């Protein structure tokens, strides 16, 4: 299976590394009784189902996955909340999850930006302060795409001028339009944290852009932990 899935216009998710399997979850639970399974049995499948159903989540934290993600900043900052919240969710007081992001204090590579196609602009929802509604009129949407392209081009020009003048990169980046700018990071998380993210960001009312990234994450790891993911996603989904 391909370990990279393209998302949006320029983004992607790449599965970098995996530690453990469904068997890891089983043996993390069975160690309480000094037992170990060599391969998954029907009894083990029932155990995973029981752990997920009853909220015994610590065994799922012994399996990990590492991803490289390239996404607009508006997606990255939504995603980051799961990094901050993972310690509280897991009840450990600290988190084994990790997040390392590229920084324009050090990197001056050509910036890239997410620019919605005309058919991707969405209206504000009628009965909610967040989320989105139906697509807007295509003629108006085309104008918004052009306006965004123009805005980005102007910001890039100011940024390039500042760099060429000798302004430090950490200040020159202030000229770049922020929310649509692509950033790259490594996300290493426990299976429990990953499934918590998926349960929330695969929902129909999640922001569409982060839904697309959640779908990519699920596709990349569902074959690595098929039993556990099925149980954990069913549990809250």
**HSE on the CB side for 192, CA within 13 Å?**
24
For the question of residue 201 being annotated catalytic, the response is: yes
How far is 204 from 217, CA to CA, in rounded Å? 16
d(Cα 194, Cα 159) in Å, to the nearest integer?
36
The conformation of residue 203, written as its DSSP 8-state character, comes to S
Token couple for 192: 């429990």
> Do residues 59 and 20 make contact, with C-beta atoms less than 8 angstroms apart?
no
Q: Are 215 and 12 in contact (CB under 8 A)?
A: no
Q: How far apart are CA 214 and CA 108, in angstroms?
A: 28
Q: Which helix (H) or strand (E) segment is 18 a member of?
A: strand 11-19
> Which among 53, 104, 105, 201 is annotated as catalytic?
201
Please count the CA atoms within 13 angstroms of the CA of 62 that sit on its side-chain side. Answer: 15
Cβ of 210: how many Cβ atoms within 10 Å? 21
User: Where do the DSSP E strands lie in 20-168?
Assistant: 64-72, 98-101
The catalytic site residues sit at 201
């Amino acid at each position: 299976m391909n370990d990279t899935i393209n998302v949006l216009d320029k983004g992607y998710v790449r599965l970098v590394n995996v530690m453990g399997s469904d068997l890891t979850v089983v043996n993390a639970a069975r160690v309480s009784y000094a037992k170990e399974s060599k391969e998954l049995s029907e009894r083990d499948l029932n155990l995973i189902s029981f752990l997920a159903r009853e909220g015994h989540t610590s065994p799922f934290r012994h399996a990990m996955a590492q991803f490289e993600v390239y996404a607009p900043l508006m997606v990255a900052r939504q995603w980051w909340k799961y990094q901050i919240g993972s310690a509280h969710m897991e009840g450990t007081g600290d988190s084994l999850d990790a997040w390392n992001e590229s920084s324009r204090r050090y990197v001056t590579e050509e910036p890239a930006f997410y620019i919605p196609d005309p058919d991707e602009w969405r209206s504000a929802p009628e009965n909610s302060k967040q989320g989105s509604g139906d697509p807007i009129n295509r003629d108006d949407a085309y104008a918004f795409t052009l306006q965004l392209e123009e805005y980005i081009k102007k910001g890039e020009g100011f940024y390039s001028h500042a760099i060429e003048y000798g302004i430090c990169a950490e200040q020159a980046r202030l000229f770049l339009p922020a929310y649509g700018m692509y950033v790259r990071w490594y996300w290493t998380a426990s299976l429990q944290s990953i499934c918590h993210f998926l349960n929330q960001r695969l929902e129909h009312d999640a922001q569409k852009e982060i839904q697309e990234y959640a779908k990519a994450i699920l596709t990349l790891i569902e074959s690595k932990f098929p039993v556990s993911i099925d149980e954990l996603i069913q549990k809250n989904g």
